[in-house]
Chains A and B, each alone.
Chain A
Amino acid sequence: MLLQTAVAAASQHPLSGTIAEWVWLLPVLPLAGFVINGLLSLNSAHFGPTDPNTPAHHPHSEGAAEAAALSHGEEAGAVGDDHHAVKRHRWATLTSIVGPGVLIVAFLLALAIWQVMVSAHPETPFIQRYFSWMPVGDLQIDAAFQLDQLSMVMILVITGVGALIHIFSVGYMREDPGYPRFFSYLNLFVFFMLVLVLGSNYPVLFVGWEGVGLCSYLLIGFWFNDKANADAGKKAFIVNRIGDFGLLVAMFMLFANIGVLDFVGVSAKAVELGAGSAVVTAICLFMFLGCTGKSAQIPLYIWLPDAMAGPTPVSALIHAATMVTAGVYLIARSAALFSLSPVASLTVAVVGALTAIFAATIGLKQWDIKKVLAYSTISQLGYMFIGVGVGAYVSGMFHLVTHAFFKALLFLGSGSVIHAMHAAYHSTHSHEDAQDMRNMGGLKRYLPVTCVLMWIATLAISGIPPFSGFFSKDEILGAVFARAHGSTLASATWLGIPGSTLLYVVYGIGLAAALLTAIYMTRMMLYTFHGPVRTGTEEEKYLHEVPWVMTGPLVVLAILTIFGGWLNLPEVVTDILPVGPGEVLTRWLDPVVGPATARITAGASHVPVATEEMLIGLAVLIAVAGILFAFVRLKPSRVPRKADAIPEHGFEGVVANKYYVDEALDRTVVTPVYASSRNFLWRIIDNGLIDGFFVNGSAALARGFGWVGSRLQTGNVGTYAWVLVVGVLVMLAALTLR
């Protein structure tokens, strides 16, 4: 690939000639990892007498591989186990080096580039144009990477958290026969994600967008022998696709109206679309449709809970830290467009708020530990969208980063728990559900490190200071309140409702969702780690802490969770306490999203400091209240085991069944589409019209013509005389009757 540096303008860019020019190496490294691991995976693993990938008796697919995988290995306590050992994949060691290795190298490179950026203070993006991808008439799309502060933040998160999760997977997927395949898919995912955030125009972003959707499908259905997993993968991909349609339409409209598709050009020319015009609103709404698909907001969130069928590191990386945040990133990138359309921004905020509270209510009644975290992710993503919806792009990105830390920690921690549970159940040949909280309880005795680390994450997500989640969530809510006070959004109307009212309502919903978040997260921790042990006396003997290769990344994430708040301390705090520089992230992202933010807050007056302090206090109070409520009202001792579980009734049953959304969609959308496709599109159009009429029909027509022609070949001279005379008649007629 030709490395062409950009035109003369870039040669004056402060970053040119530095290590930043090696930015292309960032995605190429994981791509190389994908190729190497992919080749290694072609050499099939050793299978024991029981193929771990066959659908086992475990309702969760994780059980199958885990059960067989844990018969040997680091658990010295496995006694009396007559399961034949499933040897590790032949290339497991090499994969363990290559898989996480490329990520670590990429992270180090990202750090180096970041250092250069810090000292260089670039005001404009650094664009590396590699080749002209689609020059078609007026459309000039280049394959180019854009390095600016926003993409840098995403790169650090992706490579950093990604590296930690890769290391965790070394331990988690240790005995899986598809070990190299797993890492190759993970590496491919990181490659696409980096392309997504590095792209300098919408089409390149879209390549990454689609690619991560593909990898999500591959990884959710990793244990594809179980049909449920394959179905979950399909569901994720198909629902994503619906969103992609929205993004495509937005791109088309963008090109039709402005004629450029690269971010620099769009930001410059966005004003031409007219502030608040129907065109820019339509573009933003379609783009948001794409975001609802990728980032699991209403109405396209339905794939995320099902995606928990994939291995836990996948859930941590893709469905917590990186892929689902692509939607937030997209809106931050398109800040120029969204800031021009108050209606679209308000829509984003409202949908985010509704999603936040909706998912939080569902999370209250889930028993599967991963499902709780899945709905928690959807809910927190709602917060991020509230943030970028009200034009607080920095706040949204801040919450994205902190959420990556503590949600990855939570998922990996739950992965450790499940790992331990599986080991226990496998040792006793039990077929209980290892992910159901009703089968857990009192695990802090056996997994103390994991327990402490997950409590740190729980406090963070509930919004307890000084953990990172408090700062990011509070900043979002503060921004909502400030915008409600005065901004272009407040003065706009949304479906007839004045903007300021709407924003106050969003603020209220945000607070309510925060309360629920605290409650259900504490509930999860209580049922999992505290109270009596429900796992069964036999299994208790086999419960123990997970190996350090898995706990290590958790520790690093916990440190980041504790100190992540320092990324963007609010001025309110730094004015009072000498805790360090404030608003680091705001200043860092200012060159990218500053103008757009200013457009929204134009002329707004500052919220008085006293009010701000009161709001912060209110948020903390609510968080603490939620945690206390859970401690008081939700007694772990009263929870029955899964085997003895009583089905829920009434409203609780509805919530427990996710408000029957999937069932409703199935009846209203899926079944009619399927029926019409089968009866109309397939039977009538495909079989009848295309096959029958066009294909067979044209053959029949040719055959008919042939038959007519053959009837003329009688071999009889008299026939030929007739034909001749009739021909003469016709020709003469043509000549004389002209």
Chain B
Amino acid sequence: MIEPHYPLFYVFHFYLFGAIALASAIAFVTRKSPVAAALWLVNTMFSLAALYVMLDAQFIGVMQVLVYAGAIMVVFLFVVMLLNLGHPSELADARGLGWKLAAGLIGLGLLSEIGIILHAKLPEQLIVARDFHEQQLQKLNAVGTIAAPLFKDYLLAFELTSVLLLVAIAGAVILGRGRAVGAR
């Protein structure tokens, strides 16, 4: 696949945000305190949002900040705070060294396999025009580029997802109510 020549500015920032994301993710995994880990994950989300914008997915980038970093991670932090789990966990909270090494090996194995998979040939005929996204942005604005397919081609999936959200809300409420459900 022939990609256009990217200006150095673009490439530099791409690598910069990529590095930040990777480093934040590694930091996130190695924290013992759930709060610290959550915050590092938020940082990862942010850098990924920047990457989305750079990849012509502006709406997704904003959604990443709003939903992921802004809602999901906040809920996580709420729960941590509610259950008072913010303290660094005991030493026994992560598995021992042997387990860690094994996990690392498995990770490397999976990484190599993914690498092999990603060397597959990509179908050329599906590639859209280079200025496709520009065109879309011009025609429909940023939100429209997502909304149009969402409500036209993928309407069924959209509706099902909304049902799913409803079920999730109900479930979360019921599960979270504790003993009040049915005991009285």
Contact = CB atoms under 8 A, between A and B. Distances in A.
Interface of A: 718, 725-726, 728-729, 732-733, 736-737
A159 to B, nearest CB: 90
Given A733-B113, A736-B116, 17 more contacts: A718-B95, A725-B106, A725-B110, A726-B106, A728-B110, A729-B106, A729-B109, A729-B110, A729-B113, A732-B110, A732-B113, A732-B114, A732-B117, A733-B109, A736-B113, A736-B117, A737-B116
Contacts, number: 19
Contacts of B109: 729, 733
Contacts of B114: 732
A733 B110 CA distance: 9
B92 to A, nearest CB: 12
B99 to A, nearest CB: 9
Nearest to B116: A736
A728 B95 CA distance: 21
Contacts of B113: 729, 732-733, 736
Nearest to A725: B106
Contacts of A736: 113, 116-117
A728 B106 CA distance: 10
Contacts of A737: 116
Contacts of A729: 106, 109-110, 113
Which are the 6 A-B pairs with shortest beta-carbon distances? A732-B113, A736-B116, A736-B113, A729-B109, A729-B110, A729-B106
A732 B117 CA distance: 9
Interface string B84-126: 0000000000010000000000100110011011000000000
A234 B107 CA distance: 75
Contacts of A732: 110, 113-114, 117
A314 to B, nearest CB: 82
A725 B104 CA distance: 12
Contacts of B110: 725, 728-729, 732
Nearest to A733: B113
Contacts of B116: 736-737
18 contacts: A718-B95, A725-B106, A726-B106, A728-B110, A729-B106, A729-B109, A729-B110, A729-B113, A732-B110, A732-B113, A732-B114, A732-B117, A733-B109, A733-B113, A736-B113, A736-B116, A736-B117, A737-B116
A718 B103 CA distance: 12
Nearest to A736: B116
A28 to B, nearest CB: 82
Interface in B148-173: none
Contacts of A733: 109, 113
Contacts of A726: 106
Contacts of B95: 718
Contacts of A718: 95
Interface in B121-137: none
Nearest to B110: A729
A736 B113 CA distance: 7
A732 B112 CA distance: 10
Nearest to B114: A732
A386 B114 CA distance: 92
B97 to A, nearest CB: 16
B108 to A, nearest CB: 10
A728 B117 CA distance: 14
Q: By CB atoms of chain A within 10 A, which of B95, B113, B114 has the most? A: B113
A179 to B, nearest CB: 86
A733 B106 CA distance: 12
A204 B113 CA distance: 73
A154 B2 CA distance: 107
A455 to B, nearest CB: 104
A723 to B, nearest CB: 11
A420 B133 CA distance: 130
Contacts of A728: 110
A130 to B, nearest CB: 75
B155 to A, nearest CB: 33
A726 B113 CA distance: 13
Nearest to B113: A732
A734 to B, nearest CB: 10
Nearest to B109: A729
A450 to B, nearest CB: 101
Nearest to B95: A718
A737 B117 CA distance: 10
A736 B112 CA distance: 10
A234 B20 CA distance: 95
B22 to A, nearest CB: 21
B60 to A, nearest CB: 27
B93 to A, nearest CB: 11
A736 B109 CA distance: 12
Nearest to B117: A736
A733 B109 CA distance: 9
A57 B114 CA distance: 95
B7 to A, nearest CB: 36
A482 B116 CA distance: 98
A205 to B, nearest CB: 75
A528 B95 CA distance: 103
B116 to A, nearest CB: 5
A592 B95 CA distance: 96
A85 to B, nearest CB: 92
Contacts of B106: 725-726, 729
A594 B114 CA distance: 93
A725 B105 CA distance: 12
Contacts of B117: 732, 736
Nearest to A732: B113
B83 to A, nearest CB: 18
B118 to A, nearest CB: 10
A86 B109 CA distance: 95
Nearest to A726: B106
A89 to B, nearest CB: 84
Interface centre among B109, B114, B117 (most CB of A within 10 A): B109
A728 B114 CA distance: 11
A211 B150 CA distance: 92
A696 to B, nearest CB: 36
A390 to B, nearest CB: 88
A725 B108 CA distance: 12
Interface string B6-23: 000000000000000000
A737 B95 CA distance: 31
A726 B114 CA distance: 14
B120 to A, nearest CB: 10
A239 B113 CA distance: 73
A3 B18 CA distance: 99
Interface in B45-99: 95
Q: Which of A718, A725, A737 has the most CB of B within 10 A?
A: A725
A726 B116 CA distance: 18
A732 B106 CA distance: 12
Nearest to B112: A736
A729 B102 CA distance: 13
B107 to A, nearest CB: 9
A728 B109 CA distance: 11
B149 to A, nearest CB: 31
B179 to A, nearest CB: 23
A714 to B, nearest CB: 13
A728 B116 CA distance: 15
A736 B114 CA distance: 9
A725 B106 CA distance: 8
A725 B102 CA distance: 12
Nearest to A730: B109
